Amino acid sequence: MLQQNTKYIDFTLPDQNGNMHKLSDYLGKGNRIVLYFYPKDNTSGCSAQACGYSSLVGEFTKKNTIIFGISKDSVSSHKKFESNYDLKITLLSDESLKTLIDYDVWKEKSMYGKKYMGVVRTTYILDSDGTIIYSSDKVKAKEDPLKILNIL
């Protein structure tokens, strides 16, 4: 996990509609940015987290904050996820894993004694110049959106 008071690592990723988003394009305009990294579309925890952010998107907007959910799922998977839950947030696809690795969220995990690589649920808040002002990899999916809103 990247630490607080370090600078962002730029990336360009497609969203659920195939539109490209370059992180640095959003900086320096008075916006803060929430980057939340999650394991998989349409799973219970990830759905609860995405729906939570989506339901609070107006409150985040009032606080000049942009939300990006990022996983290794494809653009088409993100589109289905958006449609299934009527999401109002931007989901970014990192099938190459480059951004997941850069942000130190692609790690070895273990389930039932089996080891595998996957995304560790992690949330970052960037200030308007791209400095990380909050980072956590101890994220509870359902509680994360409101917790982050309260931090802002």
The full set of domain ranges for the chain reads: 12-147
51-99 confidence digits (pLDDT tens): 999 999 999 999 999 999 999 999 999 999 999 999 999 999 999 999 9
Amino acid found at 12: T
* Contacts of residue 17, Cβ cutoff 8 Å, sequence gap at least 6: 75, 79
95-134 as b/e, with b when 16 or more CB fall inside 10 Å? Answer: eeeebbeebbbbeeeeeeeeeeebbbbbbbbbeeebebeb
Enzyme catalytic residues: 46
Measuring CA to CA, which residue among 34, 37, 30 is closest to residue 66? 34
**CATH code, 12-147:** 3.40.30.10
Phi, psi of 108 (to 5 degrees): -75, 130
pTM of the model: 0.95
pLDDT in tens, 34-49: 999 999 999 999 999 9
